[in-house]
Each structure stands twice: as C-alpha cells, then as structure tokens.
Amino acid sequence: MFTATKAIVLSKIKYKDNDLIVKCYTQKEGIVSYLLRGVFKSKKAYSKVAYFQELSQLHLVTDHKGKRGLQYIKEVKTSYLYSTLHTHVLKSAIVMFLAEVLSSSLQEEEQNDTLFNFLEATLQWLDTNETYANFHLLFLLNLSKHLGFYPDKTAIDAPYFNLYDGEFQYLKESKYCISGENLILLKQLLGTNFDALELVKINGSQRQAFLGVMLLYFELHLGAFKKPKSLQVFNEVFS
C-alpha cells in the first residue's frame, strides 16, 4: 500500500557504495528513515539526491510498512521550493544547525500535525525574511512548546528562571537558575513572534550565551539530545 505524505528532510548519509539513507520528519508518520537504492549509480538516478538537502520540504509517495526499519520512496517532488535557504551563506548555516537540533530532538514515530505545521511555516518564514539573526533562538524556544517543556510563565516577574524545572522562581534554588541578561532576553522572546524579531537587539556574545542556555535547556529535558557538531562553526558565523 502506497502512502502520500509531506516531509521535511533532517539528515542523509551514504550507505554502501550506491545507496543513500535519508531521515525525515513526515506529516503522517513522524520520524521515518528511507533507503534510496542505487542513487549514486548513474547521473539520472543521482539527480534525486538534490531533493534531499537538509530541511527541504517534500511531498513523498512511499511504500510504507510499519515494522520495516527502512522505508522506500516511490515518488518525490518538492512541496515548497526555497529561494534562499540553501544558497544564502548565513541562512545555510542556520539550516545545518537546526537540522542537527531537530534530528536529535524529534523521536516520535506518529502523526503530529501541529508540530509539522510549525516546522513548515517557520522555515518558510526564514526563507522569505531578511531579519533572521535571532531566528534560531525564538525557533528553539517555540519548539520546546511542541516537545512539552515550554517555560511556565506563571511567575514571569520573578528574578530567576530554573532551566531544570522550566519555571520562573523568586529564589535561586539550583545551579540551573539563570538571571541577568539571559533572563531578560528569555522574557523578551516569550513575548515576541517572528515578525517582531527585528525589535530584539542583542550583540553576538549575548546571542551566543543565550544559545548555550537554550541548548542546556534541551539537554535537561530531552534525554537523547546532543549538542550539534556544527555549534562552533555556527557561533563563529553569528558572532
């Protein structure tokens, strides 16, 4: 039985001499890995590889069988064609970084339309907007909502935020409490949408420090999460 679904590419790796394994977040099945046989054998077959750049938005027709570890793709086409994400140097750095974050964060093998729609819409926003230096910070913060550990804003006026508990507190109750510039920025981002990102004014060192906070937040709440290998390069690009 063939299944049609939208998909967002998270990673790809060459397998043996001629095959490719592609990991996607799909609208209907959550995380799925696909085996593309023989794509490195000929120029005609190799042309398919171009579809599977990180965070590409695709429409797939697949031969999906539940118990099979690697699924197969019957047809592939682009569902949304980016105009800048894979050609603009800075946006490409964001794509590489976020693809790693998502690959490490997303584990569910089930349908989640709300999360898929969030990814689809925000990546399209990044593709079409030019104020994006802080995009990844707000993206990670909003992603935490879909993953179940969005900050509890009940005591948002408090002078600390406890990363471990995910809530604002009036006392510094653990080593995972943040304050100062990181706290101010967190509160600002909690009240910001992507279209208002240009109003968030921070320098490179502040941006790098807060990104470190967000990655620690993910590590504390997602047992399998690992810091992206591209983090150092990414910080250098946005320093």
Look at residue 199 in the predicted model and tell me its pLDDT. Answer: 93
pLDDT at residue 41 in the model? 84
pLDDT score for 28? 94
C-alpha 102/C-alpha 105 separation (Å) is 5
CA distance 220 to 192: 24
Distance CA 145, CA 138 (A): 11
Read off the pTM.
0.94
Backbone angles phi, psi at 41, to 5 degrees: -80, -35
CA angle 95–100–103, rounded 5-degree value = 120
Q: Which two tokens stand for residue 218?
A: 């993910």
pLDDT in tens, 34-93: 999 988 887 777 778 899 999 999 999 998 887 788 999 999 999 999 999 999 999 999
Which tokens sit at 29? 């099945």
Given a contact cutoff of 8 angstroms between Cβ atoms, the answer to whether 194 and 135 are in contact is yes
Q: How far apart are CA 26 and CA 174, in angstroms?
A: 38
CB contact at 8 A, 127 and 84: yes
pLDDT of residue 207: 94
Query: Residue 56: phi, psi to the nearest 5?
Result: -60, 145
Query: Is 134 within 8 Å of 207 (Cβ atoms)?
Result: yes
Q: What is the CA angle 165-167-170, rounded to 5? A: 110
3-class SS of residue 162: strand
Spatial CA neighbour of 88 closest among 143, 127, 38: 127
Facing residues of 40 across strands?
none
Q: φ and ψ at 79, to 5 degrees?
A: -95, -25
Residues in the chain, pLDDT under 70: none
pLDDT of res. 42: 79
